[in-house]
Structure 1
Amino acid sequence: MTNAQFVVVANRLPVDRQSVDEQEVWRRSPGGLVTALEPVMRATDGAWVGWAGQAGLDLEPFEFEGTLLVPVPLSADEVESYYEGMSNDTFWPLYHDVIAAPRYRRVWWDAYVRVNRRFAEAAASVAGQGATVWVQDYQLQLVPAMLRQARPDLTIGYFHHIPFPAYGLYSQLPWRKQVLEGLLGADVIGFQRVADASNFARAVRRQLRYQTKASGITVPYPDGTTRNALAKAFPISIDTSSYAELAQRDDIRARAAEIRESLGNPRKILLGVDRLDYTKGIRHRLKAFGELLEDGRVGVEDVTLVQVASPSRERVEAYVQLRGEIESMVGRINGDYDTVGHTAIRYLHQAYPREEMVALFLAADVMLVTALRDGMNLVAKEYVAARTDNRGVLVLSEFTGASDELTSSVRINPHDIDGLKDAIVRAIDMTPGEQGRRMRAMRRKVLVNDVAAWSKSFLEALEQAGRSAS
């Protein structure tokens, strides 16, 4: 047992195992959460509990850049049942407004409980007396209560990175009470939007009959005593300055010009950047663009859509089907409208390093974020952070958490295809003056509310909760 005073518990460790010169080495994973928590981990001799990303790998805890990493082993069956099944074929579609039908399988739930207990035990074994433990996301919703039962001395936080659904949808879940009780093991339960925190509080009132007042929830114990849990919004953000710095680099600006040239120097470039996921509204975006070409409102010589769709959950059937549908749509639109010199849609089914993404952001005149439901959507914030020139237009779905903050975007309902088409044309034709006014307002928001501010605000609330409890 170690004595870490700050412990992060997440589905994945903050490192990836890579093969270099026939040797296995660990490299830091890209991502906002890792960036946000790195200074805290270093300052507190922190520990990070998570899966190493490979089935059947059983490793001892090890040090990486000043942080103790505590790997939690998962068998191939557990990856299939706990991760691909319960997490991504039950919770993910249910929490994203049942855009795809969730599947409820008891064998998946059993694996979910078993794996959550393993994570909780690993965290309990490395946390020092009175330590702070921060649990991350929907794969680990039972961990807070399991931890509290094992280690009542701990201060426990939980952050929910995806939406929390309205009660009418949430109530479908066969294990709805167990999940609520699991989350209420935390002193602070954080959500992306005020609406998500409200949905959670309503589910608690309806299912558990606990008293809720403002952001507070009164959690009773069997002995008649009570504890107060805080459930409120802490909108997550990005490492804004790193995107702004990359956007100023000469080589990345040159790459942006190169991208425009490779696309035939169209008058306007539209950009979509998403994981290949049914929540992202990629089909709606393609349909709207295809109809604009068909209507003659845009021409293939003038406007190109670049769609980056990084691979995601390729063993889950709904994702396999989605990829087929999207690639069929792209092929049909390109077949109908491509010329020898110009392509309607440049479709890229691969992930790119951050440098290439920033070059794409700089090359793109219009960023299309058409998610049907999204906890936040950090790509919208990344585009804004990269546009140090105060140019470019963000077309943003009102069903993303980011739309609560980026109110100077062109907001759309992605289900309204005619409205989406009009918004795209409006964005294409927007004057430089209006682009500048909107982009400056959005940039002010993301510069102040960056990922460091997010983690600071959550941890301050957690510290205050810990003091109140002691």
Structure 2
Amino acid sequence: MADESYSFVVVSNRLPVDRVVDEAGNASWKQSPGGLVTALEPVMRAADGAWVGWAGQADLDLEPFDNAGIRIVPVPLSESDLELYYEGFSNDTLWPLYHDVIAQPSYHREWWERYVQVNRRFAEAVAGVSAPGATVWVQDYQLQLVPAMLREARPDLLIGFFNHIPFPAYGLYSQLPWRLQIIDGLLGADVVGFQRVADAGNFSRAVRRLRGYTTKSPVIEVPGVDDAPARRVIAKPFPISIDVAGFQELASRPEVQERARQIREDLGNPKTIMLGVDRLDYTKGITHRLKAFGELLADGSLSVEDVTLVQVATPSRERVESYRQLRDEIELAVGRINGDYGTISHQAISYLHHGFPREEMAALYLAADVMLVTALRDGMNLVAKEYVAARSDEDGVLILSEFAGASDELRAALLVNPHDIDGLKDTILRAIDMPRHERRKRMHSLRKKVAENDVSHWSDSFLATLRRARRTRAAWGGSGLPGEAEWTVERPPQS
């Protein structure tokens, strides 16, 4: 056991901090933006928690350190690790497979072997800082083998896993040569969380088909092997969300609202601003919305004098060939549409291939009359929820793909099938022409739903399920584990 140990440990591919080096070469750390950090920060502090992950830079071997009251435990990754484990198996095998094979997955044994090695490195780091009976929460598809590795090394631990991306139907998942190993890896957890009911169902079906275990939603019966006792694993949905109160406060700032007004003015004050905000990824349906918008301009249903599309495409995985090809395809389409339909004073599409700070994103949401979320497959899509949270004026229209996890909750959005270009065009026109009273009614409903299920609700719900799993294990005669009271966080009620 290491000299330091913690009762609550989170492990993710990336740490919740970014390393910043100033002009003088001095390094410091700043907290990464994101709802996961916001949701877990009070739990981490109450629990004397530690966060295990990669620091974001290759070949950087760092000692653990404290940041904003959280113990940070870096796991080093080499350039070779990044090529094989991260860009290779995680993002060129699992990512396309789990997103309905929108792009063809690649199956390489050396990628898999490195995925196993890196997952073991993460598991060893977690085991080394976890107190007896600690709660460990493993995050996302890059670390699917970690739960079983921890279970083997530290059977005293209470282990949760949350999959932030979809889990595919068995007909697709069965393509994976290492399908059994992944299933067994996930079944090392006491609770396996997913974004949607369908994802949890897909996982349970894969367990039945591949292992023959008894499943009765949400319980999976895992029989004992050798000296290990039989176990019950909970597999169910916990739809993730955002820091609603924080985003509302941000969008209400006078300087952000003034920036939104300036954005409209800079765009020529068109009647309608449509907005797309995406990581540049083939799952996001960016080309589909560009095609629909281009056809609406071509057939005269829309004019560049009246409607502008702002497309933010944040750079992503630029060393992966399929992503380089996608960028070329998108920029070619943007150039063609602007060349065909733009005028001296009006551009059809304002295309921005870089990231923006949260303040600028909030201003863009306030400036946009129509938000376009046309993902071909998405675990959740938090952009849709951010747009809703920003609109305290109860205006604006959300067009949302039915293939995004957010569509399960945000039923008052205009739901679309992005593959149906004609249907998408009709929905865009409906959004632009929607009467004010209907916009307000829909946005009021959306805002109520988002406020009820913020990111704190998500984390509290998952951790409460883990605590129940601890009691169930004790009732089954499992090892006597320390109680959870020392890290249960009482949150103030949401206003």
Within the candidate set 15, 18, 32, 1:16 is matched to 18
The corresponding residue for 1:119 is 122
For 1:145 and 1:205, the matched residues in 2 are separated by: 18
Within the candidate set 92, 95, 103, 2:95 is matched to 92
Within the candidate set 148, 167, 173, 2:170 is matched to 167
Match runs of 1:58-73 below 5 Å: 58-73=61-76
Match for 2:310: what amino acid?
A: V
The corresponding residue for 1:252 is 256
Match for 2:235: what amino acid?
A: A
Within the candidate set 407, 411, 414, 1:407 is matched to 411
Within the candidate set 276, 280, 284, 2:280 is matched to 276
Match runs of 1:20-419 below 5 Å: 20-22=22-24, 23-223=26-226, 225-419=229-423
| SS of the residue 1:100 aligns to | coil
For 1:267 and 1:222, the matched residues in 2 are separated by: 66
Within the candidate set 442, 446, 450, 1:442 is matched to 446
| SS of the residue 1:408 aligns to | coil
Match for 1:134: what amino acid?
A: W
User: Deviation of residue 65 (structure 1)?
Assistant: 1.4
| SS of the residue 1:455 aligns to | helix
For 1:65 and 1:118, the matched residues in 2 are separated by: 25
Q: What count of residue pairs does the alignment treat as equivalent? A: 470
CA offset digits 1:152-192 (Å, max 9, x no partner): 00000000000000000000000000000000000000000
For 1:24 and 1:122, the matched residues in 2 are separated by: 23
* Pair 1:126–1:225, CA change in 2 (3 A): closer
Gaps of 5+ in 1: none
User: Deviation of residue 20 (structure 1)?
Assistant: 2.2
For 2:408 and 2:225, the matched residues in 1 are separated by: 40
| SS of the residue 1:108 aligns to | helix
- Runs of 4+ in structure 1 off by over 2 angstroms are none
User: Deviation of residue 21 (structure 1)?
Assistant: 4.0
For 1:268 and 1:91, the matched residues in 2 are separated by: 39
| SS of the residue 2:283 aligns to | helix
Q: Tell me the TM-score normalised to structure 1 length.
A: 0.99
For 1:136 and 1:320, the matched residues in 2 are separated by: 27
User: Deviation of residue 242 (structure 1)?
Assistant: 1.1
* Pair 1:225–1:130, CA change in 2 (3 A): closer
CA offset digits 1:246-301 (Å, max 9, x no partner): 11111111100100000010000000000000000000000000000001000000
For 1:312 and 1:4, the matched residues in 2 are separated by: 34
For 1:455 and 1:380, the matched residues in 2 are separated by: 19
For 1:174 and 1:350, the matched residues in 2 are separated by: 36
| SS of the residue 1:253 aligns to | helix
| SS of the residue 2:310 aligns to | strand
The corresponding residue for 2:490 is none
User: Deviation of residue 193 (structure 1)?
Assistant: 0.1
For 1:379 and 1:7, the matched residues in 2 are separated by: 28
For 1:142 and 1:222, the matched residues in 2 are separated by: 18
For 1:9 and 1:383, the matched residues in 2 are separated by: 29
For 2:201 and 2:378, the matched residues in 1 are separated by: 16
- Two-structure CA RMSD over aligned residues (Å): 0.7
User: Deviation of residue 32 (structure 1)?
Assistant: 0.9
Match for 1:452: what amino acid?
A: S
CA offset digits 1:296-354 (Å, max 9, x no partner): 00000000000000000000000000000000000000000001110000000000000
For 2:320 and 2:333, the matched residues in 1 are separated by: 21
For 2:63 and 2:21, the matched residues in 1 are separated by: 19
| SS of the residue 1:372 aligns to | coil
The answer to which of 220-229 and 243-252 deviates more is 220-229
Match for 1:424: what amino acid?
A: I
